[in-house]
A and B are shown apart, each in its own frame.
Chain A
Amino acid sequence: MDQTVEKKEVQFSEGAMAEIRRYLSHYPADRQKSALLPILHIAQAEFGGWVSPEAMDKVAEILNIQPIEVYEVATFYTMFNLKPVGKHVLEVCRTGPCMLRGSDDLIMHLENKLGCRVGETSADGNFTLKTVECLASCGTGPMLQVREQYYENLDAASADQLLEDLKASTVKKPWEENY
């Protein structure tokens, strides 16, 4: 059986490359691997909210390191999605302090509302529901994060409204105008 996996090469946009070059300038010339995490964040934003093997290979090429060096980092840090996700990724904090303020109820409500469980994507492709461990919002729980935005002191009604607002929104990249 042919084990060859066909990979499609990906390309960063000029906006993303400018951001990558900016990060590369922060580190000594012989220590460019330091830019790996920032570039993985850029790759995730650039390529639909997740880092594919092709995207990771591209990052390795930019940094002139072996692809395995990128894979081992991308799989270690929880912020990087290793499979396709929905248009919006809802990251609900579930750790102790948020639990005290009702995160269990919020998670259950979102599962019912979206018709999917934690770790899954809603049938319409709009939302991927994830739980995360502590987002430093312990005084304003229950809360969730969508991209760079925090939504705090949530209840069922405000969570429902948030879903509607997100559905109607477009996803921009951090280096785009009016992000």
Chain B
Amino acid sequence: MGRKLLTEHINVEGIETFDVYRKHGGYASVEKALKTMTPEEVVEEVKTSGLRGRGGAGFPTGMKWSFLAKPEGKPRYLVCNADESEPGTFKDRYLMEKLPHLLVEGMITSSYALGCRTSYIYIRGELMYILRILEKAIAEAYANGFLGENILGSGYSLDLHVHPGGGAYICGEETALLESLEGKRGNPRNKPPFPAVWGLYGSPTVVNNVESIATVPWIVNNTAAEYAKIGVGRSTGTKLISAGGNINKPGVYEIEMGITVEEFIYSEEYCGGIWKGRDMKAVIAGGSSVPILPKDLILKTAAGEDRLMTYESLSDGGFATGTMLGSGGFFVMDDQTCIVRHTWTLARFYHHESCGQCSPCREGTGWLEKVLHRIEYGHGHMHDIDLLVSVAKQIEGNTICPLGDAAAWPVAAAVRHFREEFEWHVKHPEQATSPGAVFNKNASVLA
């Protein structure tokens, strides 16, 4: 059984209330930081821990904090990115629902480190019921002197608010999120300037993911050195993985970085194997935007070693053979999954969610969806398969924000690894569009 840094108390009855959370060590990091540490020391601890952003990009959190500009006369803001919308990813929702005080505690300790007087949790609008859970936790924190004026008599004051979005995936991109928080359309901003210099209301701002912020209390309480001992190499600590798809035990699991992908999929402690006794066909390991890998490549690296659940091992070999840990949205497809149909649903998602600001993304995502649709529904041509690759290439790297890349990578990877299946759809339109028809590579016929 791996160590649980975030979820140790998640099943304790009443842990969502201040009193029970406090009895289990809650808010200790606020006390420790405000009474015994300078803000700079807290930043240094997070830096030394090796914690990397848990929203998907994996950028070192402490380094991001240290970039924050400190001009006189301007407020600084911490904004928690709780706009979790990446298909396959549901860990932040789970964490906020079960342990709202952990996020509130993390926000207070992190805000102290960054010198913020007002902080926001930007939560996706669909999760309004979690907004109310968080607001209740915040109210309890105010009532117990952990928020508001002169917290614990330390002289430090903080206001914390939850802000609902409106149902736009693009607002998970940090600059689009800030635009949205300012009451505008969620169009990403050009960078530079980065939010650390020009963020919310033109002030220096840090935007961090829910899981990243929720990890800060453990690091402060137990020291960066202890945190860095967990994991492998530059992938330190634990990671929440949202496991879904055709597995026996979907759910959110906290893993120690470095267990093998095979153990994660097949052990009873985690996913419990493939459902209905079927074989595994493919896995998307880090949320829908990362490249899909067929069974053989997800279990072994290019060097033939067991692939590990770490940032480095999952991206082994670059995009040719590797994928990414991303947000930890891990979804497994069984041998009855139609890769073309699945890829079409993802392309439809990105087309729907493109903000429309950049032409390659606005137009390209639409092309991807349409071409995939006609292949899936029996109207495709062989040249459509190369057209998908071509369009994906023209989107990638040509947009203001990473949504274009996120739309292009899954399609390009699906064609790269499952080209035969796309060709089979084109060659056998009547069979391919039959209900339940799925290409079986080994039998070369319907499964």
Chain B's interface size range is: 35 or more
Find residues 135-152 in chain A having any chain B CB closer than 8 Å to their own CB.
135-141, 145, 147-150
**A48 contacts the other chain (CB 8 A):** no
Chain B contacts for A34, CB-based, 8 A: 163, 181-183
| Other 4 A-B pairs with CB < 8 A, given A95-B87, A150-B129 | A97-B288, A137-B90, A141-B244, A145-B126
- 30 contacting pairs across A/B (C-beta < 8 A): A35-B183, A37-B166, A41-B164, A41-B166, A63-B183, A76-B168, A76-B185, A76-B355, A77-B166, A80-B166, A80-B167, A95-B288, A96-B288, A96-B342, A96-B346, A100-B244, A100-B337, A100-B342, A132-B167, A133-B87, A133-B349, A133-B353, A134-B349, A136-B92, A136-B124, A137-B90, A138-B331, A140-B250, A148-B128, A174-B132
Contact present for B201 and A148 (CB under 8 Å): no
**B242 contacts the other chain (CB 8 A):** yes
Find residues 92-110 in chain A having any chain B CB closer than 8 Å to their own CB.
94-97, 99-101
Mask: chain B, 238-270; 1 = CB below 8 Å from A; 0 = not: 000011111000111000000000000000000
Which B-chain residue is minimally distant from A28 (CB atoms)?
B201
Contact present for B125 and A79 (CB under 8 Å): yes
Contact present for B125 and A134 (CB under 8 Å): no
Mask: chain B, 308-335; 1 = CB below 8 Å from A; 0 = not: 0000000000000000000001010100
Contact present for A31 and B166 (CB under 8 Å): no
B188 to chain A minimum Cβ distance, whole angstroms, is 13
Contact present for B89 and A78 (CB under 8 Å): no
A9 to chain B minimum Cβ distance, whole angstroms, is 23
Chain B contacts for A174, CB-based, 8 A: 128, 132
Interface size (A, Cβ < 8 Å)?
A: 43
A96 to B353, CA, bound (A): 14
Chain B contacts for A63, CB-based, 8 A: 183
**B393 contacts the other chain (CB 8 A):** no
Contact present for B346 and A40 (CB under 8 Å): no
A97 to B86, CA, bound (A): 10
Which residue of B127, B163, B181 is within 8 Å of A136 (Cβ)?
Answer: B127
Mask: chain B, 274-294; 1 = CB below 8 Å from A; 0 = not: 000000000010001000000
Which B-chain residue is minimally distant from A94 (CB atoms)?
B345
Which B-chain residue is minimally distant from A32 (CB atoms)?
B183
Contact present for B165 and A72 (CB under 8 Å): no
Which B-chain residue is minimally distant from A33 (CB atoms)?
B183
B residues lining the A interface (CB < 8 Å): 84-90, 92-93, 120, 124-129, 132, 161, 163-169, 180-186, 201, 242-246, 250-252, 284, 288, 329, 331, 333, 337, 341-342, 345-346, 348-349, 352-353, 355
Contact present for A138 and B168 (CB under 8 Å): no
Which A-chain residue is minimally distant from B247 (CB atoms)?
A139
Chain B contacts for A95, CB-based, 8 A: 87, 288, 345-346, 348-349
Which B-chain residue is minimally distant from A75 (CB atoms)?
B185
Contact present for B166 and A78 (CB under 8 Å): yes
9 nearest interchain CB pairs?
Answer: A77-B166, A139-B250, A79-B167, A33-B183, A36-B183, A138-B244, A26-B161, A78-B167, A76-B185
B54 to chain A minimum Cβ distance, whole angstroms, is 15
Contact present for A133 and B166 (CB under 8 Å): no
Which residue of B88, B120, B161 is within 8 Å of A138 (Cβ)?
Answer: B88
Chain B contacts for A18, CB-based, 8 A: none
Chain A contacts for B166, CB-based, 8 A: 37, 40-41, 73, 76-80
**A38 contacts the other chain (CB 8 A):** yes
A residues lining the B interface (CB < 8 Å): 26, 28, 31, 33-38, 40-41, 63, 69, 72-73, 76-80, 94-97, 99-101, 132-141, 145, 147-150, 174
A150 to B88, CA, bound (A): 17
A28 to B201, CA, bound (A): 10
- Given A134-B169, A136-B124, A139-B252, A149:B129 Cβ within 8 A: yes
Chain B contacts for A40, CB-based, 8 A: 166
Chain B contacts for A38, CB-based, 8 A: 163-164
Chain A contacts for B87, CB-based, 8 A: 95-97, 133-134, 138
Contact present for B84 and A136 (CB under 8 Å): yes
Chain B contacts for A80, CB-based, 8 A: 166-167
Which residue of B90, B182, B346, B355 is within 8 Å of A139 (Cβ)?
Answer: B90
Which A-chain residue is minimally distant from B122 (CB atoms)?
A37
Which residue of A97, A132, A145, A150 is within 8 Å of B244 (Cβ)?
Answer: A97
Which residue of B84, B169, B183 is within 8 Å of A37 (Cβ)?
Answer: B183
Contact present for B345 and A96 (CB under 8 Å): yes
Which residue of A31, A72, A138, A141 is within 8 Å of B201 (Cβ)?
Answer: A31
Chain A contacts for B124, CB-based, 8 A: 136
- Given A100-B331, A141-B244, A149-B129, A37:B341 Cβ within 8 A: no
